[in-house]
A = this chain, B = another copy of it.
Amino acid sequence: MNSPNEFNLSCPIPIENYPRVLLAHGGGGRLMHQLIEKIFTSSFKNEILANRHDGATLNLPAGKLAFTTDSYVVSPLFFPGGDIGALSIYGTVNDLAMCGARPLYISAGFIIEEGFSMDTLWQIAQSMKSASQKAGVLIVTGDTKVVDKGKGDGVFINTAGVGIIEHDFEIGPRSIMDEDVIILNGDIGRHGIAIMASREGLEFETTITSDCAPLWETVEALLKSGIEINCLRDLTRGGLASALIELAEQSNRQFVVEENAIPVNPEVQAACEILGFDPIYVANEGRLIAFVPAKDAAKAIAVMREIHSDIKPSVIGKVSGNSPGTVIMKSRIGAERVIDMLSGEQLPRIC
């Protein structure tokens, strides 16, 4: 679990002078420059960022790039298994990975509420530093805004990412084929339940930790193994169910999923039962589904298992052409039902 005290380095802006972020820290003057220099540039340091221009200049080979963005508004900012800083890096890295792109460069935009703890901001920057190193990306450009007290919620972070596509696969909903199998890389529902438990002060026998993790390593291994990858999607807001339904609609195909084959940690399952949640709708931050031809299923699972020995990938279903745009769930007792998206989320502000 990350916590505001996990990192040893202490905040380089003297807390006795500026214990909290002021509106002036976003005003374009000396204080803003000091905040950016001491909190962000010193944490993320790299040659591109050091140019301190209005944007970063990147040298890239010709070819296909992936470009994506996500804003992070999670509450609470620190939770078992992660924090908003790590999430803001991994979430965007994962969106690039789902395009089959090697994540390279990240931008970071901070919207800070006046009065936010300077030390907590520093801890978040340290977490972003550590996450970007783990994910192999550079934070090359950024922006800092401060909004009046009561007009924000601590800190919101937006990251955008640029990655490079080094292969010829067309990875996306349009490439999903009949008879593809659907592989899930691990157990579902950890992130949503970790946030919920943390928010509501719920206690379980062991602490349920978020699955928050970068997924490029897994995708890279799949690409290198020679498996034909048709589509990838990470499971975030709306959980496994919403991702499946989105892809069924976008590919205009039908998916048949075995409820029995979907791994759910017993404590997550218990928490879901207490809270009245269905784990297939609960958010994740380190899980993906991959659509591959049936012949490649065993190999794909072996590759995934090699990368993350602690989670269990499995085939959870397959693509079938009967009733396009729908997802059928076969229950443990053999009953079939069509699953639909919820209107909203069982739990807001989880990412």
Q: Assess whether A146 is in contact with B27, with CB atoms less than 8 Å apart.
A: no
Q: How many interface residues does A have (CB within 8 Å)? A: 88
One of A38-46, A92-100, A127-135, A322-330 at the interface? A92-100
Q: Other than A52-B250, A145-B351, give 11 A-B pairs with Cβ distance below 8 A.
A: A29-B341, A55-B66, A55-B99, A56-B66, A57-B172, A60-B64, A65-B65, A69-B160, A71-B109, A147-B156, A160-B160
Residues of B within 8 A of A246 (CB): 33
Q: Is residue A342 contacting chain B, with contact meaning CB distance below 8 A? A: yes
- Interface residues as binary, A134-166 with B (CB distance below 8 Å gives 1, 0 otherwise): 000000111101111011110010101111010
Q: Is residue A14 contacting chain B, with contact meaning CB distance below 8 A? A: no
Q: Assess whether A65 is in contact with B57, with CB atoms less than 8 Å apart.
A: yes
Picked from B54, B71, B343, the residue with its CB within 8 Å of the CB of A30 is B343
Residues of B within 8 A of A234 (CB): 54
Picked from B108, B161, B163, B344, the residue with its CB within 8 Å of the CB of A27 is B344
Q: Assess whether B53 is in contact with A105, with CB atoms less than 8 Å apart.
A: no
Task: Tell whether A55 pairs with B161 under 8 Å between CB atoms, given A30-B341, A343-B31.
Answer: yes
Q: Assess whether B73 is in contact with A111, with CB atoms less than 8 Å apart.
A: yes
Residues of B within 8 A of A238 (CB): 27-29, 32
Contacting residues of chain A (265-317) with chain B, CB-CB under 8 angstroms: 283
Q: Assess whether B150 is in contact with A111, with CB atoms less than 8 Å apart.
A: no
Going nearest first, the 8 A-B pairs with the smallest beta carbon separation are: A24-B344, A27-B345, A28-B237, A28-B238, A55-B68, A160-B160, A62-B62, A27-B344
Q: Assess whether B95 is in contact with A68, with CB atoms less than 8 Å apart.
A: no
